[in-house]
Structure 1
Amino acid sequence: MKPFTDLTRLTTPRSIVIVGASERQNSQGRRLTENLMLHSAFTGDIYLVNPGASEILGQPCYPSVAAIPASGLDVALVMVNASLVLPTLEQCAAKDIAYAIVMTSGFAETGDEGAALERQITALCARTGLRVYGPNCPGLVNVNRRLGMTFSPAFKDDLNAGTIGLATQGGGLGRNVLQALAHGNGVGVWYSGGNECDLGLPDFIGHMATDPEVRVIAVLMEGIKDGARLRQALALARENGKPVVILKVGRSEQGVLAAQSHTASIAGSAQINSAVFRQQGCVEVEDLDQLASVAHLLAASRPAADAGLAIFTFSGGTAAMAADIAGAAGLPLAQFSPLTTEALRKLLPSFANIANPLDTTADILRDPDVLTRCLGVVCDDDRVGAVMFPIPMDYGEITATMAQAVCSAARTHNKPVVPVWMSRRMGSGFELMEQAGLMPFFSLTDAVSALRHLFKGETALPVVRSHTHEEPSRSGPVAISESEAKALLREAGIVVPQGALARSEEEAVGIATSIGLPVVMKVASAQIAHKTEAGGVRLNLDSEASVSTAYRDICLSVAAARPDAEIDGVLVEKMFPADGREILVGVHRDAAFGLVLTVGLGGIFVEVLRDLAHRSIPITPRDASAMLRELRGYALLEGVRGQPPADIAALESLLMTVSEFARQQGERLHELDLNPVWVGPVGQGAIPLDALLVLDSTTSIS
Structure 2
Amino acid sequence: MSGFSDLAPLFDPRSVVLVGASERAASVGGRTLANILDHSDFRGTLHLVNASRPEIRGLPCHRRVADLPSAPELAIIAVPAAGVMEALRECAALGVRICVILTSGFGETGEEGRAVEAEMKVLAQSTGMRLYGPNCPGVTNINKRLGFTFSPAFKDDLRPGPIGLATQGGGLGRNLIQSVERGAGFALWCSTGNEVDLQVADFIHYMAGAPDVRVIGTILEGIKDGPRFLAAARAAAEAGKPVVALKVGRSEYGMKAAASHTASLTGSAEVNSAAFRQLGIIEVDDVDELVDVASLLARGRPPRGARVAVFGSSGGACALAADMVGQAGLVLAEFAPETTVLLAEKLPSYAALGNPVDTTTVTLTNPAVIEETLAAVANDPAVSLVMLPMPLDYGPVSQVVAERMAAAQLRSPIPLVPVWMSERTGAAYRHFAGAGMVPIRSLRNAAKAFRRFIDRGAWEAGRMPEGLGAGVPEGPTRTLSEAEGKAMLRGAGLAVPDGAVVRSEAEAVALAPRLGFPVAVKVASADILHKSDVGGVVLGLRTAEEAGAAVGAVIKAARAHQPAARIDGALVERMAPPGGQEILLSVSRDPVLGHVMTCGLGGVHVELLRDVTRRLLPVDAAEAGRMLRELRGFPLLEGLRGAAACDVEALCAAMAAVSALVEARPGEIEEIEINPLRVGARGEGAWVLDAVVTLRG
> What TM-score results when the alignment is normalised by the length of structure 2?
0.71
**Helix, strand or coil for the counterpart of 2:166?**
strand
Q: Are the counterparts in 1 of residues 183 and 432 from structure 2 also a CA contact under 8 Å?
A: no
What one-letter code is carried by the residue in structure 2 that aligns with 1:249? V
Alignment of 1:573-592 (within 5 A): none
Alignment of 1:242-261 (within 5 A): 242-261=241-260
What one-letter code is carried by the residue in structure 1 that aligns with 2:22? S
| Structure possessing the higher radius of gyration over alpha carbons | 2
Please tell me whether residue 168 in structure 1 is matched to residue 167 in structure 2.
Answer: yes
Q: In structure 2, how many angstroms separate the alpha carbons of the residues matched to 1:456 and 1:521?
A: 21
Q: In structure 1, how many angstroms separate the alpha carbons of the residues matched to 2:370 and 2:649?
A: 66
What one-letter code is carried by the residue in structure 2 that aligns with 1:285? V
Alignment of 1:538-687 (within 5 A): 606-607=644-645, 659=657, 676=679, 685=690
Q: In structure 1, how many angstroms separate the alpha carbons of the residues matched to 2:218 and 2:257?
A: 18
Q: Give 1:29 deviation, angstroms.
A: 0.8
Higher RCO (CA 8 Å, separation ≥ 6 residues): 2
Cα 1:354/1:103, change in 2 over 3 Å: same
User: Could you give the per-residue CA deviations for residues 343-389 of structure 1, whole angstroms, max 9, x where no partner exists?
Assistant: 11111122222111111222343111111111111111121111111
Q: Give 1:69 deviation, angstroms.
A: 1.0
Q: In structure 2, how many angstroms separate the alpha carbons of the residues matched to 1:655 and 1:184?
A: 50
Q: Give 1:100 deviation, angstroms.
A: 0.3
Match of 1:29 in 2: 29
Q: Give 1:222 deviation, angstroms.
A: 1.2
Match of 1:59 in 2: 59
Match of 2:421 in 1: 422
**Helix, strand or coil for the counterpart of 2:76?**
strand
Please tell me whether residue 4 in structure 1 is matched to residue 4 in structure 2.
Answer: yes
Q: Are the counterparts in 1 of residues 32 and 150 from structure 2 also a CA contact under 8 Å?
A: yes
> What TM-score results when the alignment is normalised by the length of structure 1?
0.71
Match of 2:191 in 1: 192
Q: In structure 1, how many angstroms separate the alpha carbons of the residues matched to 2:602 and 2:151?
A: 44
What one-letter code is carried by the residue in structure 2 that aligns with 1:148? G
Q: In structure 2, how many angstroms separate the alpha carbons of the residues matched to 1:352 and 1:199?
A: 57
Alignment of 1:383-398 (within 5 A): 383-398=382-397
Q: Which runs of 5+ in 2 are unaligned?
A: 471-583, 616-625, 665-676, 693-697
Match of 2:217 in 1: 218
Alignment of 1:277-426 (within 5 A): 277-426=276-425
Cα 1:571/1:80, change in 2 over 3 Å: farther
Cα 1:109/1:181, change in 2 over 3 Å: same
Q: In structure 1, how many angstroms separate the alpha carbons of the residues matched to 2:107 and 2:15?
A: 29
Which deviates the most, 386-395 or 48-57?
386-395
What one-letter code is carried by the residue in structure 1 that aligns with 2:61? C
Q: Which runs of 5+ in 1 are unaligned?
A: 470-484, 501-511, 526-564, 574-581, 587-600, 615-650, 667-673, 688-702
Percent identical: 43
Q: Are the counterparts in 1 of residues 226 and 469 from structure 2 also a CA contact under 8 Å?
A: no
**Helix, strand or coil for the counterpart of 1:311?**
strand
Q: Give 1:433 deviation, angstroms.
A: 1.6
Match of 2:514 in 1: none
Q: Give 1:305 deviation, angstroms.
A: 2.3
User: Could you give the per-residue CA deviations for residues 551-570 of structure 1, whole angstroms, max 9, x where no partner exists?
Assistant: xxxxxxxxxxxxxx999976
Q: Give 1:519 deviation, angstroms.
A: 3.9
**Helix, strand or coil for the counterpart of 2:96?**
coil
Q: Give 1:685 deviation, angstroms.
A: 1.3
Q: In structure 1, how many angstroms separate the alpha carbons of the residues matched to 2:73 and 2:19?
A: 14
Q: Give 1:246 deviation, angstroms.
A: 0.2
Cα 1:152/1:492, change in 2 over 3 Å: closer
What is the CA RMSD across the aligned residues, in angstroms? 3.9
Please tell me whether residue 90 in structure 1 is matched to residue 89 in structure 2.
Answer: yes
Match of 2:454 in 1: 455
Q: Give 1:223 deviation, angstroms.
A: 1.4
Alignment of 1:200-215 (within 5 A): 200-215=199-214
Cα 1:304/1:25, change in 2 over 3 Å: closer
Match of 1:178 in 2: 177
Q: Are the counterparts in 2 of residues 520 and 572 from structure 1 also a CA contact under 8 Å?
A: no
Q: Give 1:275 deviation, angstroms.
A: 1.1
Which deviates the most, 123-132 or 393-402?
393-402
**Helix, strand or coil for the counterpart of 1:163?**
strand
Match of 1:108 in 2: 107
User: Could you give the per-residue CA deviations for residues 644-692 of structure 1, whole angstroms, max 9, x where no partner exists?
Assistant: xxxxxxx9xx9988657579999xxxxxxx873699xx996179xxxxx
Match of 1:559 in 2: none
**Helix, strand or coil for the counterpart of 2:22?**
coil
Q: In structure 2, how many angstroms separate the alpha carbons of the residues matched to 1:275 and 1:129?
A: 34
What one-letter code is carried by the residue in structure 1 that aligns with 2:194? N
Q: In structure 1, how many angstroms separate the alpha carbons of the residues matched to 2:140 and 2:469?
A: 36
**Helix, strand or coil for the counterpart of 2:100?**
strand
